[in-house]
Amino acid sequence: MTKTVMEASHAISEAVKMIKPDVVPAYPITPQTHIVERISDFVADGDLKTEYMRVESEFAAISACLGASATGVRVYTSTSAQGLALMFEILFIVSGMRLPVGMTVVNRAMSAPISIWNDHQDSISCRDTGWIQMYAETAQECYDLTLMQYKISENKNVLLPSMVCLDGFTLSHVYEPFDVPSQGRVDDFLPRYSPYHAILDPEQPLTLGAIGFPSHYMELRYSQIEAMENSIDIIEKTFNEFSDKFPVQVERSRPERYFHTEEYLMDDAEIVLVAMGSVCGTIKSAVDKLREKGERVGLLKLITYRPFPRDAIKNALKDVKKVAVLEKAVSPGANGPVFDEISSLLYEGDKRPEIRSFIIGLGGRDVRLDHIERIYEMTKEGKGKKQEWMF
């Protein structure tokens, strides 16, 4: 193992080098560019043997991923915002065909107005495409989740594509210390891809992408939903195996043991803030400060967002009095998407904590410690509207 300091984008590139994808269709978009640039350096120097395709758009990138994955090889691509939106149509087709494609989404706001800065509106609006989604807080998590996403996606009881999401600039361009294990240990954790599904092969002709009439469409969709449900358990097992094989090397760079959620100072917490991504670092600092003042507050960080880890969240919030959901996404005409999903979960429980929605950090708006402290105060005192925008 080697402790290193790199920007989170390059932590992803490093992980991609070590998982050895056979095909990498790449197309640049800010703030994802550093990832594909670094991978192209690896290829140029012979450090990574892969078919690196300089495609003409994100639409072509995801389509090439589809074709290559259907031919039975490991595939990687990455994108952001408008690029992800351009892929939208094919995201459904990749998951519907049960192809274990791996992708990194460097989260960026959606246009208009055009913005290159961070929020989660891009990947959240793809939550229903049938892709597994995991959100990283740190460079170490970026690296680790990239290794794990393939182990999860390629599992024969899952066979679904996955996205690892990280915040543009606020994480992607930030230098952090993290640990890179040896190639041998990575290979041991993630062996070469051997497709479980039949693939495009003249020796065994197969029809992929057939038309599903009303007599069959629902059954096929149902089997896909079952696979997504299966993935909850597979993700947990993968997180456990990873945590066993790769103990923490850099303090506070990741959870001690990976789980769908990370609970930070939640043991006796009466008020819990829920969030995803790099803002959790800021929230942890705010929680530390509030704890010093004797406030019983904690953070519930969601790592897995699809599949939605219902049991983990329900269990974590079962004895909490008040919940504040902080999210970098909106659903115009409705509530914050993560807020709505957590609300509906809590409705199923016996004790229903008060729950509040806070919209934060859209289009790269800085989320500061005092924002978090204000959110905590408002939640504690029951002040403000049901949904507050933290401008």
Partner 1 sequence: MAIAGLPEEEYLSCGHRACAGCGAATAIRLITKAAGKNSILVESTGCIEVISTPYPETAWKLPWIHGAFENPSSIASGISAALKAKGIEDEINVVAFGGDGSTYDIGLGHISGAFERGDNFTYICYDNEAYMNTGIQRSGATPYGASTTTSPAGRESIGKVEWKKDIIHILAAHKSPYLASASIGYPTDAFKKIRKAIETKGPTFVNLFATCPTGWRSDPAKSIELAKLAVETGVVPLYEIINGKHVVGMPRDISKLKPVEEYLKVQGRYRHLFRPEKKEMEINFIQERVKENLALLLEYAETGH
Q: Write out the residues near partner 1 by the rule CB under 8 A.
A: 22-23, 25, 50-51, 53-57, 59-60, 63-73, 75, 89-90, 93, 200-202, 204-213, 216, 220
Beta bridge partners of 383: none
Amino acid at site 378: M
Cβ atoms of 358 and 327 within 8 Å: the answer is: yes
Q: Closest CB to partner 1 among 61 and 367?
A: 61
Give me the half-sphere count of Cα atoms (radius 13 Å) on the Cβ side of residue 294.
0
Q: Closest CB to partner 1 among 90 and 132?
A: 90
Give the nearest distance from C-beta 59 to partner 1 in angstroms. Answer: 7
Q: Closest CB to partner 1 among 103 and 372?
A: 103
Beta bridge partners of 264: 299
Give the list of residues 6+ apart from residue 199 with CB closer than 8 angstroms, or none: 70, 71, 72, 206
Q: DSSP 3-state assignment of 245? A: helix
Looking only at the bridges linking them, the beta strands covering 175-180 and 162-167 are unpaired
For 152-175, b/e burial (b = at least 16 CB within 10 A) is: bbbbeebbbbbbbbbbbbbbbebe
- CA dist., res. 174 & res. 164, Å (int): 17
The conformation of residue 332, written as its DSSP 8-state character, comes to T
Give the nearest distance from C-beta 20 to partner 1 in angstroms. Answer: 10
Give the nearest distance from C-beta 31 to partner 1 in angstroms. Answer: 23
240 C-beta neighbours (distance < 10 Å), count? 13
Q: Closest CB to partner 1 among 89 and 354?
A: 89
Give the nearest distance from C-beta 117 to partner 1 in angstroms. Answer: 28
- CA dist., res. 273 & res. 263, Å (int): 10
374 C-beta neighbours (distance < 10 Å), count? 17
Looking only at the bridges linking them, the beta strands covering 102-107 and 304-306 are unpaired
- CA dist., res. 335 & res. 279, Å (int): 20
Q: Closest CB to partner 1 among 201 and 311?
A: 201
Q: Closest CB to partner 1 among 128 and 311?
A: 128
Q: Closest CB to partner 1 among 196 and 314?
A: 196
Give the nearest distance from C-beta 207 to partner 1 in angstroms. Answer: 4
Give the nearest distance from C-beta 88 to partner 1 in angstroms. Answer: 11
Place of tokens 């089997």: 223
Give the nearest distance from C-beta 187 to partner 1 in angstroms. Answer: 18
Give the nearest distance from C-beta 74 to partner 1 in angstroms. Answer: 9
The conformation of residue 101, written as its DSSP 8-state character, comes to -
Give the nearest distance from C-beta 355 to partner 1 in angstroms. Answer: 40
Q: Closest CB to partner 1 among 192 and 352?
A: 192
Burial of 189 (0-12, 13-18, 19+ CB in 10 A): buried
Q: Closest CB to partner 1 among 23 and 139?
A: 23
